[in-house]
Amino acid sequence: MTSTKKQHYVPQFLLRRFGTGKKNRERIWVLDKSTGKVFQSSVKDIGHENNFYDHDIEQLLGKTEAYVAPLLSRINKAGKLFRDKSELVGLSYFVAAQILRSPVVRAEMENFRQILIDTWGAEIKVHPDDPKTIGEYGVEDAKLSSLNCMKNVPEFAKILQEKVWSLCKAPSQSAYIISDNPITRHNMFERAGRGNLGIRNEGIEVYMPLSPEYTIRALCPTLSELVSCTPQLSDEYQNALISGSPVAQLPENVEFSNSLQVISAERFIYARSKEHLIMPIDMLKTNPELKQGPRVVAH
């Protein structure tokens, strides 16, 4: 079997729910946050790069997507998160793979290499036994390293299975958007001097938009327990955990979730309607540093 030259790092079946038009010919609105350009595109022509994966990873992702696509379709149509253990395991593998397949991963690897060069020079070696200096590596090496990261999918999935999963529903006047890095993370628990967005970190929140109407949320058990004890949230949230029914969100909750997509995107943000991109455009005007994907900054 030959591999496909055009390889999507965001699955088409996920992007199609944010598009409009005939089946398999959906069109979607796109914001290029690096330039500010807004345009409409066919779903098949976005969220991809030629030869983004190697053959083995492409086949593995294809099998994962074949299992998850109908599951996510059922969740979206029913408006209910299924509680079957095997389905949650499959979903965790899909989310883990999506975290590691993002173009942000390889862009950040190359960014880190440049930080090392700027700090210590191009002639240093990462390891004494390495025949190459750090200056001799390049973008293709970052690609190979990012592909190697895909071996961590089972470990990431196992960590995600320990989270508390629920479905969130946008109010009628709001809509979720999605990006080229659709699995977003947030943590309101500070870790002095350290990052707090690791999926093992206490307080971590993980989001995956499913459609303009729904997003899937996974919370660390500590945070989930706090939500369960919050008087104005506890009844609906606990019912959602038992039945899989969605938790109704306020417009400001949806806007916050959408802001995470803007922050996390490497370059492209996608939406069903052009109007849904007004907030991201305003956000980029007031925070021009977000025009670049998320990066570690040297201090």
Q: What is the pLDDT of residue 30?
A: 98
pLDDT above 90 for 65: no
Environment class of residue 123 by beta-carbon count within 10 Å: exposed (0-12), middle (13-18) or buried (19+)? exposed
102 falls within a domain:
yes
3-state secondary structure of 13: helix
Q: What average pLDDT is seen over the chain?
A: 89
Q: Which residues share a beta bridge with 237?
A: none
- Which token pair is 203? 């307080």
- Most confident of the ranges 60-74, 108-122, 131-145, 155-169: 155-169
More confident residue, 117 or 278: 278
168 closest CA partner among 234, 88, 73, 80: 80
Q: What is the pLDDT of residue 295?
A: 80
209 closest CA partner among 167, 250, 245: 167
Q: What is the pLDDT of residue 139?
A: 75
214 falls within a domain:
yes
Distance of CA 115 to the CA centre of its chain: 25
More confident residue, 79 or 131: 79
More confident residue, 273 or 63: 273
- Domain range enclosing 104: 6-291
268 falls within a domain:
yes
Q: What is the pLDDT of residue 2?
A: 47
More confident residue, 108 or 243: 243
User: Cα–Cα distances in Å, from 236 out to 83, 183, 245?
Assistant: 17, 24, 9
Tell me the percentage of the chain whose pLDDT exceeds 70.
94
268 closest CA partner among 234, 246, 293, 241: 293
pLDDT above 80 for 243: yes
Q: What is the pLDDT of residue 205?
A: 97
Element of type H or E holding 264: helix 251-264
pLDDT above 80 for 125: yes
Which residues touch 114 (CB under 8 Å, ≥6 apart)?
none
297 falls within a domain:
no
* 51 band by pLDDT with thresholds 50, 70 and 90: low
Q: What is the pLDDT of residue 63?
A: 78
Lowest average pLDDT, out of 47-56, 70-79, 95-104, 160-169, goes to 47-56
Looking at the 3D structure of the chain, how many domains does it have? Answer: 1
Q: What is the pLDDT of residue 267?
A: 95
| Average pLDDT over every residue of 274-293 | 96
Lowest average pLDDT, out of 16-25, 51-60, 103-112, 126-135, goes to 51-60
Contact between residue 43 and residue 278 where contact means Cβ atoms under 8 Å apart: no
What residue type is assigned to position 208 of the chain?
M
Tokens 């598009």 correspond to 19
User: How far, in Å, CA of 259 to CA of 122, rounded?
Assistant: 36
Sign of the Cα pseudo-torsion (81, 82, 88, 90, in order): negative
Q: What tens digit of pLDDT does each residue of 82-106 get? A: 878 889 999 999 999 999 888 887 7
298 falls within a domain:
no
User: How far, in Å, CA of 58 to CA of 7, rounded?
Assistant: 8
pLDDT above 50 for 186: yes
183 closest CA partner among 92, 82, 271, 81: 92
pLDDT above 70 for 55: no
Exposure letters 205-215 (e unless 16+ CB within 10 A, then b)? bbbbbbbbbbb
54 falls within a domain:
yes
User: How far, in Å, CA of 265 to CA of 261, rounded?
Assistant: 6
User: Cα–Cα distances in Å, from 167 out to 76, 111, 232, 236, 248?
Assistant: 10, 35, 18, 11, 9
Q: What tens digit of pLDDT does each residue of 201-242 get? A: 999 999 999 999 999 999 999 999 998 888 877 888 898 898
158 falls within a domain:
yes
222 falls within a domain:
yes
Contact between residue 171 and residue 186 where contact means Cβ atoms under 8 Å apart: no
Sign of the Cα pseudo-torsion (72, 75, 77, 79, in order): negative
Which residues touch 125 (CB under 8 Å, ≥6 apart)?
132, 133, 134
Structure pTM? 0.89
Q: What is the pLDDT of residue 1?
A: 40
3-state secondary structure of 20: strand
